[in-house]
Amino acid sequence: MPKGYLSIVLHAHLPYVRHPEHAFSLEERWFYEALSECYIPLIWTIEKLFQDDIDFKLTVSLSPPLLCMLDDTFLQERYIRHLEGMLELCEKEVRRTRGTPFEPVAEMYQYRYRGVYDTFCRRYQRNLLTAFKAFQDSGSVEVITSAATHGYLPLMMEYPEAARAQVAVGVRTYQRYFGQKPRGIWLPECAYAPGIDDILKEQGIQYFFTDSHGILFSDRRPRYGIFAPIYCPTGVAAFGRDIESSKQVWSAKEGYPGDFDYREYYRDIGFDLNFDYVRPHIHPEGIRIHTGLKYHRITGAKTHHKEPYVPEWAESKIDIHAANFVFNREHQVEYLARHMDRPPMIVAPYDAELFGHWWFEGPRWLELLMRKVAQSDQLEMMTPGVYLDRHRCNQVATPCTSSWGDQGYHDVWLGNSNHWIYRHLHWSAGEMVKLARDYPQADGMLNRALTQAARELLLAQSSDWAFIMATDTMVDYANKRTKRHLANFKGIWHQIRENRIEPEWISSLEQRDNIFPELDYQVYA
Amino acid sequence: MPVVLWAIAIGLIFLAVAVFLWPRIRAQAKPGLKQSRRHDFGMEAAEEISIPAYYKTPEHIPDPPSKYGQDRLVLLARNPNWLYAYWEVSAARQENILQELDGLSPWEESRPVLRLYDVTGVEGFNGSNANSFVDIPIQDCTDNWNIKVGQPNCTFCLDLGRVLPGGRFITVLRSNFVATPRATISDRIDEEWMWLDGIYRSFTRYQSGLSSPTLIEEIRGRMDLPQGISSPTLSESRKGD
């Protein structure tokens, strides 16, 4: 009998970025890089565990924009062009680095990118949703959903219909791709406020996650702290993030990803190599960008001198770090189990994009971690769904309003740089609700216009834009995306209210902002 | 002649300064790899998928309108200690207020204020039964405000209004109600779910610089407080004493 449970939760999300109007889009590279570096390596990790018959459990939330992007034929096509460019670059690099200390790394990348190409094009026929569907059906991976466009729900609660639409569209999108209802949801930015659980309940969601203080600061002191879920008065369960296990993976200083033998993220051949040589693989306007080929290891703290990456050294560190993580969790549950009358549940949620992109070795670490836990007699991998099946009796309390952002509340999404968006988002949400109620059974062009208005509103609500504004990088893009979707919404609103819909314009918007092909605007009624 | 000499001298000085500063200018302009270094937030988001910030959109995107022609005063809680409000007064409401003021006081002599009511636990708030209120003077030209309350776990309502020279207050708009989040562990204990002291003690073992920076301090502070409540472990150990 294990003493405690470990629940690893990976939250995969990217904002909906798709620019058919540009021949080259830097922003689309977010998606391509995440596919090559995170999502496909994660698929490999899970496949290897299945191949070796390892008993494991993993929770993965795939945000609805990500589901739609994975299913989008235009982006699939462009990703293949991107991969072809990468394979070409890898080949040139293997030739260029022959006989140098970088040769093994260049070969490693070539091998990887060939694997990525094979996985994407041949094995999954361009659609990775097939992989996640199979994982979900296996029972080892609990795939859950998120809000429609990753809208920041607590700041929408003045217009509960808008928050409800975010959740409902998230649930429907999940159903469309996975053929069943999601048991759980990843609330965007882990952001909860009382009342959100009413919406989750209504949509049939059984659980969500909060940051540690979301549970610890509940209106009733939680008996088990964050080591057991609580039920909201609605009956929806809330799981709290464990502090200690988060830190070991996240912390830039003490966390594993900062190990000197791991790959250095900031040295990329896009910046390092001769301009004319990398020119075909950077921005068409000749601006140097990250190519994804990074040949150095971190080497040391605060040093600009970087040594070549040695895959074998990294591999041995991954093994040490996976063992260390398991050792610490065993230690943790041993302590906790002495005080608890049920196995403690340690919930460790992470951004999926951390693994592979920022922490290159992350997917392999996950694999080794799962293998080691399978051999542990103290730990058992767990998903929130299975936990709730086993432990039905839980304390009832209302979690505290919280997020996993800086300061733990809404500061990041409602600060000096981004507060201006809310008056516009709120107005649009209010008007969308009125439109849905005024036109309960629209068809033809009016239906299409109303549906597109809903899409534009949802896209404007992505928490990513407010976050980017707050972090002061790429602000221009976030501002433009917010303003464009708001302007589109308002334009459609005028056309509907003034009875002068321009079909060509609506069509062009449908093609450009084509998220949620089966959206029903009545979700706002 | 002196003019020419002066010109040459000034030219030389410029040249010297330029030569001296050039390496610095170049150093600044160089696209440092570290420039995209992870943002300073304590938040644990994964590194943004890399992308430099020179997006160019060929099309013109209009700014959203400054007014929608609606009366709105929306109050939001940012964190346990701060509120944020934005508002818009429609032309019709503005006209109403002018009429209301007519005969009482000229517009210029009244001052715009935000009146913040603490309505924690108040049922059926009617403008005069709040626990307390404070007035915050503002300017006519503004349409949003950050309000420091420093009161976690309380409920607030806000009026945008005008104060007349005699002190009379006229409400222009009233906001929604909003509750500030808790910032502490609750003192409400379920008898059947007595909190476990050992579990809470485990938190204090870890220093944390994570997204809940005050969390550890909070718990630690709580642990040191004399607890007027019993928990199974505490009472057991007391029995043992």
- A376 and A486 assigned to the same domain: no
Residues spanned by CATH 2.60.40.10 within chain B?
Answer: 72-179
What pLDDT was estimated at residue A149? Answer: 98
Does B46 contact A at CB distance below 8 Å? yes
Does A284 contact B at CB distance below 8 Å? no
* Dihedral over Cα of B129, B130, B132, B133: its sign: negative
What pLDDT was estimated at residue B229? Answer: 32
Of A31, A221, A420, Cβ closest to residue B188: A221
Dist CA A2 CA A58 (whole Å): 17
- Domain extent at residue A441: 415-524
- A388 and A481 assigned to the same domain: no
Task: Read off the pLDDT of residues A398-456 as tens digits, 9 standing for 90 and up.
Answer: 999 999 999 999 999 999 999 999 999 999 999 999 999 999 999 999 999 999 999 99
- A423 and A402 assigned to the same domain: no
Whether the predicted pLDDT of A84 surpasses 70: yes
Q: Which of A373, A407, A441 is the last residue of a domain?
A: A407
- A61 and A140 assigned to the same domain: yes
Q: Which of A355, A372, A407 is the last residue of a domain?
A: A407
Task: Read off the pLDDT of residues A354-393 as tens digits, 9 standing for 90 and up.
Answer: 999 999 999 999 999 999 999 999 999 999 999 999 999 9
For residue B65, count other CB atoms closer than 10 A to its CB: 14
Q: Which of A407, A435, A467 is the last residue of a domain?
A: A407
- A444 and A330 assigned to the same domain: no
**Closest residue of A to B203, CA-based?**
A243
Here the ipTM equals 0.94
- A402 and A422 assigned to the same domain: no
8 Å CB contact between A249 and A350:
yes
* Residues of A with a known catalytic role: 189, 351
Q: Which residues of A touch B55 (CB under 8 A)?
A: 26-27, 474, 476-477, 480
The verdict on a CB contact (< 8 Å) between B183 and A217 is: yes
Q: What's the length of chain A?
A: 525
Tokens 């999108």: give the residue: A173
What pLDDT was estimated at residue B215? Answer: 57
CATH number, domain at A494? Answer: 1.20.1430.10
Q: Kindly state the percentage of chain B with pLDDT values over 70.
A: 60
Whether the predicted pLDDT of B36 surpasses 60: no
8 Å CB contact between A16 and A173:
no
Whether the predicted pLDDT of B233 surpasses 80: no
Predicted model pTM? 0.88
- A469 and A390 assigned to the same domain: no
Whether the predicted pLDDT of A43 surpasses 60: yes
The verdict on a CB contact (< 8 Å) between B188 and A407 is: no
- A38 and A176 assigned to the same domain: yes
Q: Which residues of B touch A225 (CB under 8 A)?
A: 195-196, 199-200, 202-203
A275-282 contacts at long range (C-beta below 8 A, 24 or more positions apart): A277/A92, A277/A96, A280/A85, A281/A85, A281/A88, A281/A89
As assigned by CATH, the class of the B72-179 domain is mainly beta
Which residue of A11, A28, A190, A217 is the best one to mutate when testing the B interface, meaning the one whose CB has the most B CBs within 10 A?
A217
Does A409 contact B at CB distance below 8 Å? yes
Q: Is residue A448 part of a domain?
A: yes
Does B206 contact A at CB distance below 8 Å? yes
Q: Is A72 helix (H, G, I), strand (E, B) or coil?
A: coil
State phi, psi for B226 to the nearest 5 degrees.
-65, 125
Task: Read off the pLDDT of residues A258-309 as tens digits, 9 standing for 90 and up.
Answer: 999 999 999 999 999 999 999 999 999 999 999 999 999 999 988 889 999 9
- A201 and A313 assigned to the same domain: yes
For residue B164, count other CB atoms closer than 10 A to its CB: 15
Q: Which residues of A touch B42 (CB under 8 A)?
A: 406-407
- A210 and A325 assigned to the same domain: yes
DSSP secondary structure string for all residues of A340-408: -SS--EEEEEEEGGGBTTTBTTHHHHHHHHHHHHHH-SSEEE--HHHHHHH-----B-PPPSB-SSGGG
Task: Read off the pLDDT of residues A219-268 as tens digits, 9 standing for 90 and up.
Answer: 999 999 999 999 999 999 999 999 888 888 887 677 899 999 999 999 99
- A400 and A497 assigned to the same domain: no
The verdict on a CB contact (< 8 Å) between A401 and B181 is: yes
The verdict on a CB contact (< 8 Å) between A33 and B49 is: yes
CB pairs under 8 A between A and B: 236
Q: B219 vs chain A: nearest CA distance in angstroms?
A: 9
Of B46, B176, B219, Cβ closest to residue A353: B46
- A379 and A345 assigned to the same domain: yes
Number of domains in chain A: 2
